[in-house]
Structure 1
Amino acid sequence: MRRLQRLAERTPAGRERYVDLLRALAITMVVLGHWGVTVIGRNSAGQLTGHSALGDLRWAYPLTWLAQVIPVFFLVGGYANAASLTRLRGRGGDAIGWLIDRSARLVRPTTMLLLVLTAAAAVAWARGAKPAQIREVFWFATIPLWFLVAYLVAVVLTPPMYALHRRLGLAVPLVLVVLVGLGDLGRLTGPEELSYGNYLFGWLAIHQLGFAWHDTRAAPPPTGQTAPPQTETDAAGQTPPPQAETDAAGPSTPDRPGVRRTRLPISRRAGLVFLAGGLGALLLLTVLGPWPVAMLTVPGERLDNATPPSLALLAVAAFQLGLILLLRGPAERLLRRTGPWQLVIGVNLVVLTVFLWHLTAAILLIGLLDAIGTLPTPAVGTAAWWAWRVPWLLLLSAVLAVLVAIFGPVEARSGRHRTGRRNGRSTPARAVLAVAAYAAVVAALLLNSTTPKQAPEPLGAPVPALVAYLAGAGVLRLLRSGWGTRG
């Protein structure tokens, strides 16, 4: 509590605290949503099975327009990535140094998860567990990594995409939306391969809006004056307060010619326009159009709005952006109070840890309750199932709190040691190694996410994926020590 109080007191006056609140709320909704729709049952052989309850709760489909919060992550991620990139460049750093900095907060907590799960899989294999069963448990625990793959790609593309944003502004997300539409057409009429680009175009479109939001913080200095230096504090009390996978959102750089066309409209009127336009497009695309109403994966549905992102999901993003803008004023007033702001800082200190470990918490609780013979398996939608939701969520929260207490410090410490503070320029060798290592990490996580959940993998993940990931993470760790920097 003392540390949170210190961080709250050192928060710069110009910080966009709302970005931090949105990240904390989004991660909370993801965790509660995954836990809330989980259905545990048994097959004919008495073995435990699990699936999502959404297929049996059709009335809840419109609620997913709020529950699908991955667009919020990419929106605030774009804001924070733009803020940290411009800040590092202002101190003389370069894009490679920035990428290595970002990898610390993302890769270190992920490495801890994979090492622990792999060790557990090895023990289970040694004790006679079937490789297919090991893979199924590992697959479930690492479901959050599919999002991390998409976000890691957005991070590595931030320097060129931000440069494009500075040149073309809001035209960039508009073009990306058109490309998503073409991908949707391919998914509906063929060939389906045309839609694969939507995995990139859809999330990048929202990420670009985060850049545009960041530009609203850029204010020109008074005539005849230079811009004052930016002062911010971090997790150790020296740069911005800790954020999850991204640095948050400190004051921006001075205005520049043409910046107004790159800014996101954030007035109340703009919020209403986004809200109404997004909702109208959403109704046309889902109720009257071909896309499912649900924005989360529903077992048995032919189409899925999130894999890859569809125009309907982008309409949800516009609808959510409208809500975000309309609630911004009251939220900012709330966050000026010490208590709420300390809570937001505390969540952001370990937000990626919470995200990565929340399904592992479910596995541990299910295993414990099953071992002691007290695991309820009521049918979805019954009174017993609904009554079990409250103790289920409370017990899961307790298990997750223990995991966060154990593994959260890895994430919290990862923001304290940054190569960007050295202000050096990267050598060509350092740049090549950084990109190759980062690509190895992304490819490894992608390989794990696309490997079937019942593949016979005695270590849980494919061995090539584990080797590639650990090699990439190891090189990034070496580079974070400052190797290959000149100046």
Structure 2
Amino acid sequence: MTAEPRSTPSAPEPAPTTAPAAAVEPGLAAALASRDLVVDLARVACILLVVVIHLLMIGVGYAPDGSLVVSRPLEAQPWFAAATWFGQIMPLFFAVGGFTALAAWRSLARRGGDATAFVRGRVLRLAGPALPLFVFFSVVLCVATLIGVDPALLDTIATGAGSPLWFLAAFLIAQCAVPWMSRLHEQAPRMTLAVLAVGAVVVDVVRIATGIAEIGLANLFFIWLFVQQLGFWYSDGWFRRRRPVTLVGLAAVAYLVIWPLVAMGWYSPDMLVNLNPPTVPLMLLGIAQISLMSALHRPLSALMRRRPAQAVVHLVGSRAMTVYLWHLPVIIIVEGLSLLIPGAAPEPGSAGWWVSRPLALIVVLGIVFAIAPLLVRFERLPTAIPAGFRAPSPVATASAAVLAIVPPFLVMQWFLDLPIALVGTASLVVVLLLLRPRRAAPRA
């Protein structure tokens, strides 16, 4: 489950997913047979859940007396905090992201690629789609400021619309570490998990004891690398070798450990609050979620053998970053336009408002997929180095990775505004310039 920057949604793995069976050629069919399609399904389910949750969190409409009401209907429900124990799917996304990243790294290494090439590819796949969004925010916020839009209203809208961007910082940090974390996994898998877990606990203890929230930022490394390592274990078959009853038991134990941590007041019962900075309960949620996915692997695999399921997974997965990055701006625009249509904006939380959500979801997804062709070139930036060119140096690649992390990190800490949008646009332009292939020097 998701929320604004204090606790935001999961996000999509940028790699493309499977093609629909109806369009599968013999060679591609063989490739699909070797894939774990349950991972693709999990990723797409996470993305769609993010869209649904945000659609239910943003309430804009008119009360019966005609006054404008802005609220968060989903969070007002008495069962909301309990639901976040299952709906906070960021840990699962990092786990399946670890699975796909490890496969990509091992494939690249077999072809002679190195860590620099891997990091370059990961940064391009995340920074490229983020650039047009930062440009969009820069233009919109600049125009709104110039025409005199109320600063408080503009700040509220920018904060909500830009909330998905924080994910890019955490995910890039984890993904860029894959070549080195995979080596540790091969050499000492249990010790690697143990060190990360102990590090996360120590960070939380110091943060809670001192009351300094910024100390928790260290868990951007410990928590997310721990959950990503779970994806490595899944890739190596550890979870698949366990019986379903064992996996369900493991998930139950993870949830039972979370309960006293919350009961003692160390953590919020709302798992969204525990997201930024990331905290120990997210590690436990990661264990529970990857265990439950593994326990359900057989029926989910059967589902993914059906053409309709493959078609939906392909449709959403092939536009994953566009859906993730743009759904909130589109939701806000749709909600705003509904205020101009008589009867289209019932009071948030009312029966009419809840009934209108399925139609709103169709409209939002329709608009997102309509604009997707305009953005696909940024989502699929080429990573190959053409003949006659050379790859960027390790220093240039590392610099680009840092610059790509800075803008979403700023959003995570201080929320989106015009200065941060402009900094993000400039930084990402520099990132793409640093990662472009260089023309090779002519031989003497």
**TM-score (norm: length of structure 1):** 0.77
SS in 2 for 1:154: helix
Hey, what's the Cα distance between the residues in 2 that align with 1:130 and 1:379?
23
Q: Which residue of 2 aligns with 1:212?
A: 233
Asked if residue 350 in structure 1 is aligned to residue 313 in structure 2, the reply is no
Q: Which residue of 1 aligns with 2:306?
A: 337
Counterparts of residues 83-232 of structure 1 (less than 5 Å): 83-130=103-150, 133-192=153-212, 193-216=214-237
Hey, what's the Cα distance between the residues in 2 that align with 1:197 and 1:277?
26
Q: Which residue of 2 aligns with 1:418?
A: 383
Q: 1:371 aligns with which of 333, 340, 343?
A: 340
Hey, what's the Cα distance between the residues in 2 that align with 1:70 and 1:144?
12
SS in 2 for 1:144: helix
Q: Which residue of 2 aligns with 1:445?
A: 408
SS in 2 for 1:170: helix
The answer for unaligned runs of 5 or more in structure 2 is: 1-18
Q: 1:6 aligns with which of 7, 10, 23?
A: 23
- Decide whether aligned partners of structure 1 residues 54 and 313 sit closer, same or farther in structure 2, where only a CA change above 3 A counts: farther
Asked if residue 434 in structure 1 is aligned to residue 394 in structure 2, the reply is no
Hey, what's the Cα distance between the residues in 1 that align with 2:386 and 2:258?
45
User: Match of 1:378, as an amino acid?
Assistant: E
1:205 positional shift: 0.6
Hey, what's the Cα distance between the residues in 1 that align with 2:361 and 2:300?
28
Aligned residues of 1:88 and 1:98 also touching (Cα < 8 A): yes
Counterparts of residues 9-88 of structure 1 (less than 5 Å): 10-11=28-29, 12=31, 13-40=33-60, 50-53=70-73, 55-88=75-108
The answer for unaligned runs of 5 or more in structure 1 is: 217-262, 297-303
Hey, what's the Cα distance between the residues in 1 that align with 2:36 and 2:324?
23
Deviations 1:215-266 (A, max 9, x none): 22xxxxxxxxxxxxxxxxxxxxxxxxxxxxxxxxxxxxxxxxxxxxxx4564
- Decide whether aligned partners of structure 1 residues 483 and 323 sit closer, same or farther in structure 2, where only a CA change above 3 A counts: farther
Hey, what's the Cα distance between the residues in 2 that align with 1:167 and 1:420?
32
Q: Which residue of 2 aligns with 1:267?
A: 242
Deviations 1:312-349 (A, max 9, x none): 22222222122111111111122122221122122110
Deviations 1:270-329 (A, max 9, x none): 412321211221222224553222212xxxxxxx31112222222222221221111111
Aligned residues of 1:75 and 1:210 also touching (Cα < 8 A): yes
Aligned residues of 1:198 and 1:309 also touching (Cα < 8 A): yes
Deviations 1:143-202 (A, max 9, x none): 001112110111111111112212111321222111111122123222535433122211
- Decide whether aligned partners of structure 1 residues 41 and 337 sit closer, same or farther in structure 2, where only a CA change above 3 A counts: closer
Hey, what's the Cα distance between the residues in 2 that align with 1:112 and 1:276?
42
Hey, what's the Cα distance between the residues in 2 that align with 1:371 and 1:122?
24
Asked if residue 471 in structure 1 is aligned to residue 430 in structure 2, the reply is yes
1:353 positional shift: 1.0
Q: 2:355 aligns with which of 365, 386, 390?
A: 390
User: Match of 1:107, as an amino acid?
Assistant: A
Hey, what's the Cα distance between the residues in 1 that align with 2:388 and 2:103?
16
- Decide whether aligned partners of structure 1 residues 377 and 165 sit closer, same or farther in structure 2, where only a CA change above 3 A counts: same
The number of residues matched between the two structures is 417
Aligned residues of 2:99 and 2:231 also touching (Cα < 8 A): yes
